[in-house]
């Protein structure tokens, strides 16, 4: 197998680390067109050098060295690198930014393009509801009592849930119910865990509902259309309408599961099943 071509050395510096020689090579490759990057042995050697040069930076951010080399390749093709006083400094900064964005995208479960934008990168990494150290019931009243202050119908909506088993089971059953009604498993899990995470930070289901309804960033990260998202919030957390207080629609799926209704029972609820199917993102996109 032929070895990658190594650039000539002279008094001005050796190998690819010499900025002027790098500039000359990038200028030549740009002049010769896209095929030069594909066929030129010196270009191949440059990319091997970049992979080695940025291997440590890639590992620091949990990436493969060739992912960093790809970022270097994208930077090398830009005019700003060829015109820079120190091309390697510009390339290194571009690779660093890309590695950070890749790492944030993996943590946020979003695209690299979104992770580069401060409006998304400011969020903490996504976490599974089941990975929390303390169960939600330790400090969240919405799972122990009806959170709607104006609900005077005490017909079993108030319930004590001890331990995390009941909550975790309710979360998994909620995800299973969405999947059974046509939701993609990954979307269903991400959406339910996002709702539960916000619920853990709120004082009530009503507060979590309102917070999530206004949170465009959360919806954008989940890539769920607005009509579908609003319907899902009412399904999971319950409708906040006063005239629905104390009803199944007002309680929501999570609370219904926690007060003793089984997953099989909810699957037999034709009205609930129809509402979940209508809210599925594919259906809502098809209507828009």
Residue 7 CA, distance from chain mean position: 42
Q: Could you tell me if 253 and 179 are in contact, meaning their C-beta atoms sit under 8 angstroms apart? A: no
Q: How many CB atoms sit inside 10 A of residue 190's CB?
A: 19
Q: CB under 8 Å to 56, separation ≥6 — which residues?
A: none
**Structure confidence at residue 115 (pLDDT):** 58
Give CA–CA dist 111/124, Å, rounded. 15
Compute CA distances 177 → 54, 187, 202, 270, whole Å: 46, 13, 24, 12
3-state DSSP of 70-91: HHHHHHHCCHHHHHCCCHHHHH
**Structure confidence at residue 174 (pLDDT):** 93
246: left (phi over 0), alpha (psi -120 to 50) or beta: left
Q: Could you tell me if 280 and 181 are in contact, meaning their C-beta atoms sit under 8 angstroms apart? A: yes
pTM over 0.75: no
Q: How many CB atoms sit inside 10 A of residue 154's CB?
A: 10
Three-class DSSP category at 222: helix
**Structure confidence at residue 91 (pLDDT):** 93
Structure tokens at 12: 């001005």
Q: Residue 107: what are its φ and ψ, rounded to 5°? A: -75, -35
Give CA–CA dist 62/148, Å, rounded. 45
**Structure confidence at residue 277 (pLDDT):** 93
Give CA–CA dist 28/277, Å, rounded. 57
Q: Could you tell me if 73 and 53 are in contact, meaning their C-beta atoms sit under 8 angstroms apart? A: no
Q: CA angle 228-231-237, nearest 5°?
A: 130
What are the pLDDT tens digits along the chain (288 aa)?
Answer: 444 444 444 333 347 788 889 999 999 999 988 788 888 899 999 999 999 999 999 888 888 888 889 999 999 999 999 999 899 999 999 898 888 888 777 766 666 666 556 655 555 555 555 555 555 555 455 554 444 444 444 444 444 444 455 788 888 999 999 999 999 999 999 999 899 888 888 877 888 888 898 888 888 888 899 999 999 999 999 888 878 877 888 889 998 998 888 999 999 999 999 999 999 987 555 554
**Structure confidence at residue 275 (pLDDT):** 93
User: What is the DSSP code string of 225-259?
Assistant: -HHHHHHHHHHHH----GGGTTSHHHHHHHHHHHT
Q: Residue 11: what are its φ and ψ, rounded to 5°? A: -65, -20
Q: Could you tell me if 279 and 231 are in contact, meaning their C-beta atoms sit under 8 angstroms apart? A: yes
């Amino acid at each position: 197998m032929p070895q990658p071509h190594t650039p000539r050395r002279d008094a001005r510096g050796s190998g690819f680390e010499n900025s002027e020689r790098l500039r000359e090579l990038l200028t030549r490759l740009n002049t010769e067109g896209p095929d030069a990057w594909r066929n030129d042995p010196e270009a191949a050697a440059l990319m091997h050098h970049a992979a080695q040069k940025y291997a440590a930076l890639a590992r620091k951010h949990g990436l493969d060295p060739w992912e960093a080399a790809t970022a270097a390749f994208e930077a090398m093709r830009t005019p700003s690198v060829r015109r820079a006083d120190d091309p390697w400094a510009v390339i290194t900064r571009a690779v660093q930014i890309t590695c950070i964005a890749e790492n944030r995208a993996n943590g946020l479960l979003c695209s690299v393009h979104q992770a580069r934008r401060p409006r998304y990168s400011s969020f903490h990494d996504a976490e599974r509801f089941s990975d929390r150290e303390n169960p939600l019931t330790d400090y969240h009243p919405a799972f122990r009592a009806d959170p709607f202050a104006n609900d005077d119908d005490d017909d079993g909506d108030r319930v004590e849930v001890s331990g995390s088993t009941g909550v975790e089971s309710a979360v998994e059953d909620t995800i299973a119910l969405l999947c059974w009604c046509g939701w993609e498993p990954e979307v269903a899990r991400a959406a339910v865990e996002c709702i539960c995470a916000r619920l853990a930070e709120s004082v009530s289901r009503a507060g979590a509902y309102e917070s999530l309804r206004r949170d465009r960033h959360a919806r954008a990260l989940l890539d769920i259309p607005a009509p579908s998202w609003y319907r899902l919030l009412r399904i999971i957390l319950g409708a906040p309408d006063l005239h629905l207080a104390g009803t199944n629609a007002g309680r929501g799926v999570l609370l219904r599961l926690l007060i003793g209704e089984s997953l099989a029972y909810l699957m037999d609820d034709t009205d609930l099943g129809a509402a979940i199917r209508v809210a599925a993102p594919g259906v809502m996109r098809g209507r828009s």
